Amino acid sequence: MNWDPYAGATSYQLLRSSGGAAFATIATNIPTNSYVDNNVAAATTYLYRVKAVTASGTTDASNVDLATTVVFTNDDGLSGQTVLAAHLQQIRDAANMVLTAAGLPTISFGLLTSGVTPIQATDITVVRNALINAYYSSGLPIPKFSEPIVVGSTVVKAVHFQELRNMVK
């Protein structure tokens, strides 16, 4: 985790939440504006907040930031590649982790069969809407997308997948 330094801060406190639980302090007396959280579980999304400690006390908690321990196949390398059902499943799983971290119910998606199930614009739209809801519920800025998806006319592109991946990392 990295954050902007707070003027007059002598140290920082880091708070974390996952699975819709309340934020809990996981580190105190952090001397710099960065921290490596090694006490995380695989395939989990975490929400973080930071407090600055100053000579006059502790600030309110920062806005929420999100981080996940999901590892994506061909991350940042889908451009020019065939997007597979496995890539869609990873995005679906990550979106459900973000929903869980926000304290929202997960989504039941249709089954995917590698080499058989076509990836459609509706698949991207459902995940986008799930992330918008999770971000909103968590107090994160609502995500912006590079281009609209029009069901029935938009061809799904690798950039759509990478954009979603970046929103859950």
Kindly state whether residues 160 and 80 are assigned to the same domain: yes
Nearest-angstrom CA–CA distance, 14 and 28 = 7
Cβ atoms of residues 103 and 137 within 8 Å: yes
- Asked whether residue 5 is assigned to any structural domain, the reply reads no
- Asked whether residue 139 is assigned to any structural domain, the reply reads yes
- Asked whether residue 3 is assigned to any structural domain, the reply reads no
**62-82 confidence digits (pLDDT tens):** 999 999 888 888 777 777 777
Compare 153 and 146 and report the one with higher pLDDT.
Answer: 146
What is the extent of the structural domain holding 63? 11-67
Global confidence as pTM: 0.83
DSSP assignment string, 26-84: EEEEE-SSB-------TT-EEEEEEEEEETTEEPPP---EEEE----TTTT--TTSPP-
- Number of domains composing the chain: 2
Residue 110's pLDDT band (cuts 50, 70, 90): confident
